[in-house]
Structure 1
Amino acid sequence: MSVSPRATYVFKRFGDKIPIELDVYVPSTIDAQGKPLPVLIWFHGGGLLQGHRGRLAAHMINGVSKYNHILVSPDYRLAPQVRMPEIVSDVADAIKFIGEELPVKLQEDAKVTVDINRVATCGSSAGGWLSLLAALYIKADIKACTAIFPITDTRAAFWTTPQWPRGVPKIETEKVAPYLKHDAPVMTNNTPDMNRGSMYDYMLQNAILNDLLYDSTTPPAEAYAISVLVRSYPPDKALPPIYITHGDDDDKVEVAQSREVVEALKERDPGGEGDRWVYEEVPGKNHGWDGDEGDEMTGLYAFLKKWV
């Protein structure tokens, strides 16, 4: 959805001072008394291989004024020019910037007061994975974590066996070859007209996600598996509130990815089901269904209202 953000800030620089940016959206009407507003951090999808911070579903944009919160959408470096640890570090640095610097900048630039004690994360697909990692791996100080049809464990056979999503033509290597090179220039996003936008489908067809995210210098895939992180979460601490939704006809991220996390949640926090953690499986829905016209994702926002 094409809507201009209220502000764009550089939250980090890497390499030769290359910036990584985030966009900030604020309600159309701001409380004259300067009432502090909660923050929802959105991580875009694309398999950590492609995408842009401006890729937002209508419900995400409309929710800013409807639910009266600040929406922040950061870019992050894309694989395979960087690996999983660098991407996760960008997520951590974005959250740190939002907590430490954004309140001052938004007050100065837009007269908007940020409630840094009421921050939540959200994302779809790979962005949902980053949202879950923010809560369970980074252990950021957030009130709730939400994820829409998330990737959760790249060790699964789905990622190591070629997949052919319906309606997607074969992606020839030549189309994406420049972006497969590990020593190619690092990118933090891509526009829709770039061939990088075919990286996810190419990855599925060739079952190479693990090759693109990890190498001998990185922690193994298990370190970022959400079910593992749920089960190994410090026993003396409560899990952060978690909401996950997935369509049962998803051919770009199999629904088993979310079901596996649900089983871990049932083991770790059996009494929290339907309260501190919620899973909504939607019959007949494929990948990207939250972008369907008129879909308001009421379950997600009800969960956020309860915990943030």
Structure 2
Amino acid sequence: MPSVVYAEHDGVEIGLDYYLPPGNGKCPILLWFHGGGLLMGSRKAAWSHLRNAPEKHGLCMVTADYRLAPQTRMPGIMRDISACLAYLRSSAFASETGGRVDQSRVIVSGGSAGGWLALLLGSGVGFEASGLAAPEPPLGVCAIYPITDITAPFWTTPQHLAEYLDPNAQETSWCPPDSLRMQLYSYMLQEAIEQDLVIGDCGVPASAYSIAPGIASSKFKLPPTYIVHGTQSEDVVRAADGAGLDVTFDVLTGIDHLYDKDPKYEMDNMYRWIWKLLQRA
């Protein structure tokens, strides 16, 4: 699993890891961004289906970091993800991988906040507001239980500990390990301050990064996109349908957020969708 620094900002190196499939042929690239509300997480938290994708699905799997809020606000994060996509299309990455990658076929993916970043890269939403040129969109997007709008009630309504002390509250099968960043995430939910942490005083409204309104305005378009569940995702799917865009919505019931962390979920529907897209590209 080689690691590469794809960008540097104010002395902070921003890295990615890549995994190549066996053999010598050229392979498409699947770029994955981690979740964590843009406040925590790491490219090292690649679930088993991602680590298995090179050998099982013949993909070059790339997991990438980006600078975290609140030290970096949304425009800086947008700059990072754009730089990452540009690096994957560069001669430097072609050389790094020994010419093994098909740089014309890049699909961007991510879970939760990472799915939001994938949708932003795919649609171009938020780049102009951030003072950046939107990159050439990827071939496709896979957004797994993505955030799509931090102006939604989930992010603006305080959530308190009492809910988790209630034995009759909804069951769950997984919780992230404790860390200071996790405490920050919990505090963000408790106080409903995601916008303050991610947007802050950068002068850009949070709505500038909302996917569904951007698509509905016809100013932005998505490439072929696969989305797995989530109530906010329904707004994106409706907007995409209204704009005549190619979006597949896979609704799974009875599963938790971050369900694909469990090795039993191999995400076969997603990888089948990816290869159908690649075969017609």
Smaller-chain TM-score bracket? 0.7 to 0.9
How far residue 206 of structure 1 moved from its aligned partner, in angstroms, is 1.4
Query: Of 98, 101, 113, which aligns to 1:126?
Result: 113
Match of 2:222 among 216, 239, 254: 239
The question of whether the paired residues in 2 share the 8 Å contact of 1:233 and 1:239 is answered with: no
Is residue 22 from structure 1 mapped to residue 27 from structure 2 by the alignment? no
Tell me which residue corresponds to 1:38: 28
Report the aligned-residue RMSD: 2.1
- CA separation of 1:230 and 1:78: change in aligned 2, threshold 3 A: same
Unmatched tracts of structure 2, length 5 or more? 125-133, 166-175
Cα deviation for residue 297 of structure 1 reads 0.9
Structure-2 separation of matches of 1:260 and 1:140: 24
Q: Which residue of 2 aligns with 1:161?
A: 157
Identity percentage of aligned residues: 38
Matches within 5 A, 1:145-184: 145-164=141-160
Structure 1: tracts of 5 or more residues without a match: 170-190, 247-254
Classify 1:104/1:168 alpha carbon distance in 2 versus 1 (closer, same or farther; 3 Å).
Answer: farther
2:53 equivalent to 1:53: no
TM-score, normalised to structure 1's length? 0.79
In structure 1, the residue matched to 2:93 is: 102
Secondary structure of the 1:46 match is: coil
Which residue in the other structure is 2:182 paired with?
197
Is 2:220 the partner of 1:225? no
Shift of 1:113: 1.2
Distance in 1 between the 2:204 and 2:266 partners? Answer: 37
Residue pair 2:123, 2:137 contacting (<8 A) in 1 also: no
2: CA distance between counterparts of 1:98 and 1:261?
Answer: 27
Question: What's the offset of the Cα at 1:194?
Answer: 3.7
Paired residue for 1:135? 122
Q: Following the alignment from structure 1 to structure 2, what is the Cα–Cα distance between the partners of residues 263 and 83?
A: 29
Question: What letter is aligned with 2:80?
Answer: D
Residues 30 and 218 from structure 1, CA distance in 2 versus in 1: closer, same or farther, beyond 3 angstroms?
A: farther
> 1:142 offset after TM fit, Å?
1.1
In structure 2, relative to structure 1, the CA distance for the partners of 1:65 and 1:165 (3 Å cut) is farther
Q: SS where residue 47 of structure 1 aligns?
A: coil
Task: Specify the alignment match of 1:70 in structure 2.
Answer: 60
- What TM-score does the superposition give when structure 2 sets the normalisation length? 0.86
Matched, 1:278 2:248: yes
C-alpha distance after superposition, 1:101-153 (max 9, x if no partner): 2111111xxxx511001100110000000000111123533111011000000
Distance in structure 2 (CA, Å) of the matches to 1:193 and 1:160: 24
Write the distance in 2 (CA, Å) between the matches of 1:58 and 1:164.
Answer: 32
Contact persistence 1:83–1:218 (CA under 8 A): no
Q: Return closer, same or farther for 1:280/1:77 CA change in 2, 3 Å cut-off.
A: same
The offset of 1:168, in angstroms, is 5.3
* Residue among 252, 257, 266 paired with 2:232: 257
- CA displacement 1:168-222 (0-9 Å, x = unmatched): 57xxxxxxxxxxxxxxxxxxxxx96641133222211211101101134332111
Give the match for residue 305 of structure 1.
275
Q: Indicate conservation of the 8 Å contact 1:95/1:140, yes or no.
A: no
Residue from 248, 260, 264 that aligns with 1:290: 260
